[in-house]
Amino acid sequence: MFHPRRTLRTLLLPLAAGLALTALPATSAHAASTLTNGGFEADGAGAAAPSGWSEYGSTGASFVEAGGHGGSYRLSHWASSAYKVETYQYLSGLTNGAYKLTAWVRSGGGQNSAYIALKNCGGAEQRTDLPVSASGWIRIVVPVNVTNNQCTISVNSDANAGNWINVDDLTFTSGTSGTSIKGADISSLPKSEAKGGVYRNSSGTSGDALAILKSSGMNYARLKVWVNPADGYNNKAHVLALAKRVKAQGMKLLVDFHYSDFWADPGRQDKPAAWAGHSYSQLRTDVYNHTYDVLSALKTQGTTADMVQVGNEINGGMLWNEGSTSNWTQLAGLLNSGYDAVKAVNSSTTVALHLAKGGDLAGTRWWFDSARSNGVKFDAIGLSYYGYWHGTLADFQTTLDDAASRYGKPVFVAETAYPFRLDSEDSHENIIDTSAELVSGYPASVAGQTRWMNDVASIVEAVPNGRGLGIFYWEATWTAVNGNGWDPTDPSSGNGWENQALFGYDDRALSSMSWFRHR
């Protein structure tokens, strides 16, 4: 996460021991042009400071101990009372250019801040916060552009009593990182507006939700398409209208085909009523014609789709029962029919396949191995990852990295979200409404929501070989508006997700929108 350098603080010498280092560190005896002892193996446990590293602040809180990620030892920060400590290494004689620090980390959470940084490299300091992960190790990266032939690698904790981090296997190499997609699903927006929904910027001025999101850094919108929904929303006409607004903001467009009149997900993949009773052969034609029809209309009006999902959360297949995963030959035919239609409209549109359960390594492998062996064509892999349902952050990273490498495709988070509060604004019970349902270390607060999104983004950014595309937040604009409930067949249905929107109960943009600015 990028933080502008606080110039005033960098000019002031620390007033008391225990303040994290902010001034340029003195060139240590260990200065080198390559990272020394990045695995903390040189000394064993108990060294006052790891070889090649220096410490500042509450130095007793920084130490090497057994239990490494790769080797036998790791760096840890911990103390029985509140502490501020920095473990750092100064590199000099660097060739100017782009570099990337990679580290394996764990954290029990609770700190005021815990991060790895690259600073004094000639430009703005670059930081990546440590995700809260008490058991599984997580790989994070920090990119920087060195312009003054030097750089300081910093492991920093501003912590409360008993807070801890582990850091290991740091590497500092040429390269860069970042994500290209900072997106959100805003499918709910037209109906919300039609039913009186209002959106305000952080200072309370009402405005266009899309413009507010764009000003916060959103660059990609995801829109679902139902075939003939009961309420008339999320159909071709509404997608066309909303796509014009998306493109007018300079955003890219992902079109998410559900191939249903209703929500399609791992538990439900109902055929549209208009396709009921059709043969498998006819369903292949239906998929092609519907996909082509929507996308060609978008192209004709000058809002060509940049990415398309052929199906939504299709862990069990789609268009049941003909397209179920119990008949992979038929499912493959339906998916390739959708792929061919997308490419017939615009050959450069990315075709993604989307599964839920982003922490399920075995299930994801089984599905995409089956797809590959049945000749399914696709360009990218999208995973839904909700931390309160789909496993730990470490599980998620393992699954995401594996998908990227095993299939040689770029990957992205098609859906994620997190609550900024637990109580409900309408009379409908929220999907997540008790503290027991939350992910440990991530409170139901604006700060917790912000932290969740930045940490998920850091994991996507760290996918090897630049294959992590980015994230779509799920339903940023689905606030509690009477008549804009979850069920298109029931006007009185409520919204169980308003506590996970990116607009608060006062309709103002939440500061958690800052995640859109993640690298």
Is-catalytic flag, 498? no
- Of the listed 41, 86, 125, 313, which one is catalytic? 313
* CA 443 to each of CA 109, 279, 397, 449: distance values in angstroms, whole numbers, following the listed order: 11, 49, 21, 8
Is-catalytic flag, 313? yes
In eight-state DSSP terms, residue 262 is S
Cβ neighbours, 10 Å, residue 135: 8
Distance of CA 461 to the CA centre of its chain: 8
State the pairing for strand pair 350-355/220-225: unpaired
Show contacts of 396-401: CB within 8 Å, 24+ apart.
396/358, 396/359, 396/456, 396/459, 397/136, 397/138, 397/139, 397/459, 397/462, 398/136, 398/359, 398/361, 399/358, 399/359, 399/360, 399/361, 399/364, 400/358, 400/459, 400/460, 400/463, 400/468, 401/463, 401/464
Cβ contact 241:296 at 8 Å = no
- Of the listed 41, 415, 475, 498, which one is catalytic? 415
User: What's the CA gap between 483 and 219, in Å, rounded?
Assistant: 29
Say which amino acid occupies 496: G
Distance of CA 247 to the CA centre of its chain: 22
* 341-354 CB burial, b ≥16 within 10 A, e <16: bbbebeeebbbbbb
In eight-state DSSP terms, residue 513 is G
User: What's the CA gap between 197 and 194, in Å, rounded?
Assistant: 7
Cβ contact 483:493 at 8 Å = no
3-state secondary structure (DSSP) of residue 222: strand
**DSSP strands (E only) in 177-335:** 181-185, 220-225, 252-257, 307-310
In eight-state DSSP terms, residue 268 is B
Structure-token pair, residue 159? 């912590």
Structure-token pair, residue 378? 């696709």
In eight-state DSSP terms, residue 464 is G
Cβ contact 203:118 at 8 Å = no
**For residue 448, which of 464, 463, 437 has the smallest C-alpha distance?**
437
Q: What is the DSSP string of 275-300?
A: GTT--HHHHHHHHHHHHHHHHHHHHH
User: What's the CA gap between 468 and 100, in Å, rounded?
Assistant: 15
User: What's the CA gap between 400 and 482, in Å, rounded?
Assistant: 38
Q: Which residues are catalytic?
A: 313, 415
